[in-house]
Structure 1
Amino acid sequence: MDGRRKTFQYSIFPKLIVAFLLVVAPLYFLGIVTNKQAESSVSKELSDSLASRVDFYSNTLKNEKSHILTLQRQYINDRDLRQLSFIGGILSSFEWADTVLNIQNKLQLIKSSSVYIENVSAHILTLGRTVSSNKPLSDRISDDYEAVRPVKERDSSHLIYWQHRLFLSLAFPDPPLPDKEPAYLLSIELSEDKLKHVLDQISNYSQSGAMMLEPKEGWSITGGEENEEVLPYLKSLFQRKYTQGILSGVESQTIGSRFYLVAYQFVPEFDSYLSIYVPEHQVFGILDKNRKLFWILSGISALIIVVYSYWTFRLIHRPLNVLVRSFRKIEEGQLDTITPPRGHDEFFYLFNHFNAMVRKLNILIHQVYEEKIRSQSSELKQLQSQINPHFLYNTYFILYRLAKVQDHDGVMQFSKYLGQYFQYITRNASDEVSLRDEVAHSRTYVEIQNIRFSNRINIDFDELPTDLELVPVPRLILQPILENAYKYGLEGKLEGGKISVHIESEHTCIRILVEDNGDELSQETLEHLQLQLAENRHDREFTGLLNVHRRLQLMYGETFGIQVARGKEGGLQVHMTLKSNREGGI
């Protein structure tokens, strides 16, 4: 799948499609811009219309409340109300009836002054009775009094919501006397039906509506089509707006699965928001159809472009595909020529020059490969030969010292180890040996050095894991590292010298760790050695650790070889990485 995706990415087919799309893109862009401008214009006009409508009805409700409050203040000091309240108990029956009738007529006048008034009541607390525009004089205070009972914190112009009813109240005297109930209280109940009728007039779109919401107490009056999903959302929205201090605006809101335009304004006289919500699809329906037609046209045009591009692509696909496959074969190392097309066009010229290139590459690769093999073989032989003279110097010096002190047993044992050592060196001309033989040879070398250093140096040599015994490795890679530890790390140590050799397998790699506790490794020497290993220059003479490092990289690659660091004991730590090939053998 990845190969197919890459093929498509680098194919000429998508480029042809892009080229044609670039030609028609300005036209589509112009259409999109025009459609967006139309949407923006209609949206702005609708938003302005909704905002104007909300503002108009807000002012209407403000004026109505102001008118009602004015009448309420005029009649609160009415002579008949005061007379019935203060001297009602001493009036004659005629005077009593005449006074009550006058009060009721005045309450009727207040009610008829505004379509928004449902009822006007005078609660006469001194008599314990209520006079109402809708009912005759009661023999007790009406239950409505519970809604308008005076509260210190409540302003007389405050709208009171009680049991789904709205009231305005004004007490006499105003302001009331401390710790005393008023003599009487004039209460005006607003008509919720009339308010709903007004809200119905505001929302004249299908599936739209209007609402009055008091954000602190949470009461609301709704008009238009009832929507159980929209109304709770708007209540929550306006409560947040009130908390944030946002009092008016027009916004697009996502409610459920639909988009709505919501216009709102806070009406201080009613302590509530007046809002209208309209589904956007009711307004943008025609634009949505035009948008769909536009995208259908775009899809058909894109399909035509793809078909035409594919037809053009097929004209050049076959010869070009042959060339692409041939180049991929070259990447995989298959240098085969291809048959030119019949026609003598541009592809015929490309095929002929491709074949000429392949023939030249075959010649050059063959020459370079042979030269590399010869170079690597020569370098391996040269690097390996550098080890033998250096070891001879050390062994003959040890033998000389043993003979000088007439240690005949030591000479015999040392000669035996020395014979085993040179038998390993000269046994055959192979550049590779098994890891088992290499470790055995290194143990022989350690025995030789034990004779030399007696009890001054102890060595901890791990047992070789059985599954690694037959892994092929370059000859003489471990012994030079041990020799380096003896010579440069521990030769001057009179006692307590230690060398540890740890061998482990990790995935496809073998790791050999050689560490000593020498005292003479300076930071400058360590950094210099690390720099030499990292540079890996091919034009210098290699000895010791660099010799082994170079041969491992020639055999396994640049990611293998030797790394050095300061060990836990303070001496040099050599970390050798080999490639594990358990299927091979010696």
Structure 2
Amino acid sequence: MQQILEAAGVREKPRGRFSLFAKMNSLIAILFLPIVLAYTYSNDVTFHVVSRELQTSSARQLTFLSGQIDSRLNQMMDFSLTFSRDPNARDFNGLNVWGDRYDRMQTRYAIQEKMRLQSGVTDIWPARYALHSQQNRQVISNYARTGDYSEDYLRRNMSGKWTYGDAGSGQPPYFYWFYTDSLGQQGLLTGSSLVVEASFSSDNIRNMLDTYKAGGQGDPFYYHKGDAPILNSSADRELSEALIADLNTHPLERTAQRIVELRGQDYLVSSVGSAHLDGQLIDVVPLGQVLGPISFSRNLFYLSIGLLFVLGVSASVLLYRNVQRPIRKLMNGLLRVQSGDYSVRLHARNRNEFSFVFERFNDMSQRIQELIENVFNEKIRAREATLKQLQAQINPHFLYNCLGYIINMAQMKDEEAVVSMAFNLSAYYRYTTRMEKEIAPLEEEVRLLVNYLDIQKLRNGRIDYGIDLPEELRRQEIPRLMIQPIVENAVIHGVAKSYASGEIRITGGLEDGFCVIRIDDDGPGLAAEEYEALNRKMDEELREEMGCGLWNTHQRIVHQFGSRSGLRFGPSPAGGFRTEIFWEIPGKQEADPIRPAVSY
């Protein structure tokens, strides 16, 4: 009893400057303070990082959209340049070249067909083309025009830039670009010029804005001061009008970002200019929508911390009344027992956990015994869990190679090889995936080795193996998958590393109260000091630089059969590597006090 009290730290009545109640409240405050400070700092960092990433992402996406639009414009301009040199277009602009009416009709048909094909390259960017012949004063287009050839129309629009205008008749506005084949200054009409007109509807840009909006959180539109903006189909028109009014007063540079307050909220406004169009692509992102959850979580955290602090103080009051007082009563009782008063009895006013402790005070020895039994059972369960863990780690990793072999043989029409490999692979995995029993007869493990070695022999024709194990050894019960990792190690690190080797021999027997199995190969083997180092590692803790296959197998054998069992390594009479598995025969532990000598 004295030792128990001393182990529990009960030596004399404790005295301190502060009560447990004050200490607990102080501890709660000390614990909460660094949490609040750390979270505040983390929240500020997160807020700034998200803001910066949002700006970068918005600018990057808007630049990508501008690049897509410029790419489509480049395609239209390149086609206009190429089309102005087309032979049919040259014939159309020729003077008194057409000999008959049929040739003229064929030329017009060919020109319209080429423009129609170019216009229908993509559904989201339909384009219109028109060919104006100043010499013949005629126009050919791939759409229904509202007027004939007009010299004033050409001179008014030959600016060399993309212009934006209203097409009239209730149609959406169009962007226009004119190209002339004049050898002089671009945009100069010489009287015999051939002019290619390229145009596209503002709906093209609206479609790309819709696609852009579907993948983000912004509300994009095309803006050019003085012209009606091009909004996306689902745009917030009230927000867009307020932003456009702000842009008219405080214009943005062609590529810039700034935060604007609209309707009482902050918005991130990003602007990217086009290489060909005079306007800008504008994207407005509500910062409250993106950063709002961060602010909400911060406020929720502070509220939770306040509630937790109140609950902590309340819990300390309850602990003082329901824990500290009963503990003091229990300590006084232990001090009386320490002084030799074993007649002391403790009684609880309330029926709670301490009433149970008080009632069991006189049954301390029995409780200690129960604790010992619980610890013993826990050790057994931990041992079984360790066995399952070690067994689960030993998992063959050659399934893909075997499936590759089957594919290759099937392509080579070698049906016999495919059937043999599939049969052995099926039997192998049927056994390895059957986990209902942790122990199996050695005979079943031998059949698994035959399946595995036949698979390896199919993949590598140099492999030759032999298994010579007596019947009494084959009847021994061993952990499942105990020998296969050793044989796999001999195949991978022994036979496979030398083109001159290929022999694996498995022998064994019952020797001096031990079951012994030897796996030999004729591979390169190891140096004497390497064998010694490998044997030492089996009894050490697993480290990262050590392979886990052999170590796992050794540990499984030790856990199953005791510390005098395990693995040993040395040179093989065949010239390669020998692995020896040995374990005590059940019932022989007392008769054989030492491990068997390893034979090389």
Q: Which category of TM-score, normalised to the shorter sequence, fits these structures?
A: 0.3 to 0.5
| TM-score using structure 2 length | 0.41
More helix by share: 1
Report the TM-score, using the length of structure 1 for normalisation: 0.42
Higher-Rg member (1/2): 1
